[in-house]
Structure 1
């Protein structure tokens, strides 16, 4: 990675909100959403490939996740081999971008957060940072390769077709075409209710869930949040939806410690070679520290989860 202090760092671009109208059909709603998603992805591709601003990779990852969330909704009601292919290509690109993002978080957030171990005499940064740098550089090289690939170009073209009003290029049955004219508000309410139920089901017995199970709750909440952000203007523009979205985001964020521990544990296994005694000590100290922090945040996560469960939905 280049030294950011010696370069002009390009700006990244965050996603604009999706503005839907009450009388939108599913077809028109998809056009509006796809335009926002494509603009978000296209604006951040050169930033991610440039590599000097870590926010570029993060925003590309978010854009791909949001597209996959939209594709997941559509694939349930309107099966399409082309849409399946688009979701598969987006997933492949997301894996490459996700690896680079994980190393960015590890180096820029996780390691600084382990400073209490340094004060206790554990040389975490001195041992792990030199090992992490080449792994992150390799991940960024794969990002540039992936985002310059035919898969990325194909996906952008597909998203452009969605944004131009063509859902996919397969022949569709009259019933399928008619279904695309369903009111978007009905489509949204049905899927938001399904995702909400799924998240609540994942979180049942929250206090007894294991860290991997809580991680699954977080993933369910993430899908629910993306769908809510797509369709919120259909049901609750302005302040009406505020409490639900705030508590949904707070519950998701509170579960972040589980994700951090799982991701960090996976990254620690990437440090090759036969570890010496000091390295084993460092890895053991990091693992123990993160697990203790995970336990310490469990009550806060449970509290945020209970608040979310009690919050009325905005689409009823």
Structure 2
């Protein structure tokens, strides 16, 4: 993503959201434009990253958004991320699991069939993704832009100086709660921790200009390391699920992660 606009501590939260929201929507729109003209793995990934950043901004400024506006942004961004999710899962599975295995055994008929099956399912999911994203670009996204016009006219006495650290503290408490729950090793719980970790990290990055150094540096560094480790755990789980789907034995899977998450959760 391009460098985000600068914030300052005396800025009103509504003004900051308009600035960051516009920046985020333009980043999403740029990725959508690229996807409409080509099928590149990195474009799907960057679209999801742009959406994650914008979802974190929406959460961070939730208290100053109207209930209907907040619900609309949350729903639209959730649906867009969900539309691109299956394609991204297939891309990672093919590139990081099947391709290395096939490179080691290029003439293996089972691996060849698995790759062909995965690619065919990716093609089907990609077509569905493009249909959904084209719809989102025509309808919900323009409405989000219009929301920013209305929000820009709203005023409040609060400033980012107090607002931003308070929101980060709340997100941090939530991540700690999620980490305690995720110690049971259940995939769904670890996945929720990963989402909460990302949201906190991206919220810190969005509000970096107005946050104390302990958030911008130490906490963010810790979150980046944990996000990478959690990503490896979830990617492993997704790879098992997609492998089972290709083999027609998805019902045999259970919800526990294949690897022990305790070392990650202690970070």
Asked if these proteins are the same fold (TM beyond 0.5), I'd say yes
Unaligned ranges ≥5, structure 2: none
Q: How does 1:178-189 map to 2 (within 5 A)?
A: 178-179=155-156, 181-189=157-165
CA-CA distance at 1:214 after TM superposition: 2.4
* Root-mean-square deviation (Å): 3.3
Corresponding pairs, count:
264
**1 or 2, which has the higher helix percentage?**
2
Deviations 1:96-151 (A, max 9, x none): 111111111111123235569x66x98663231100111111122122212221x3
| 1:10 counterpart residue number | none
For 1:233, which of 191, 209, 216 is the aligned residue? Answer: 209
| 2:53 counterpart residue number | 66
Separation of aligned partners in 2, 1:136 and 1:228: 34
Does 1 or 2 have the higher relative contact order (CA < 8 Å, sep 6+)? Answer: 2
TM-score by length of 1: 0.71
Distance 1:207 1:41, change over 3 A: closer
| 1:142 counterpart residue number | 128
Separation of aligned partners in 2, 1:87 and 1:63: 14
Distance 1:59 1:84, change over 3 A: same
- Return structure 1 stretches of 4+ with deviation > 6 angstroms: none
Unaligned ranges ≥5, structure 1: 1-13, 170-176, 306-316
Matched, 1:191 2:177: no
Distance 1:53 1:250, change over 3 A: same
Distance 1:18 1:200, change over 3 A: farther
Q: Which has the larger radius of gyration?
A: 1
Matched, 1:109 2:96: yes
CA-CA distance at 1:206 after TM superposition: 6.4
Q: How does 1:1-16 map to 2 (within 5 A)?
A: 14-16=1-3
Distance 1:240 1:142, change over 3 A: closer
Separation of aligned partners in 2, 1:265 and 1:15: 35
Find the residue that maps to 1:203 and give its secondary structure.
helix
TM-score by length of 2: 0.83
Distance 1:108 1:33, change over 3 A: same
Asked whether the equivalents of residues 188 and 231 of structure 1 are also in contact (C-alpha less than 8 Å), the reply is: yes
Asked whether the equivalents of residues 75 and 84 of structure 1 are also in contact (C-alpha less than 8 Å), the reply is: no
| 1:200 counterpart residue number | 176
For 2:111, which of 106, 121, 125 is the aligned residue? Answer: 125
Separation of aligned partners in 1, 2:2 and 2:65: 26
Distance 1:66 1:158, change over 3 A: farther
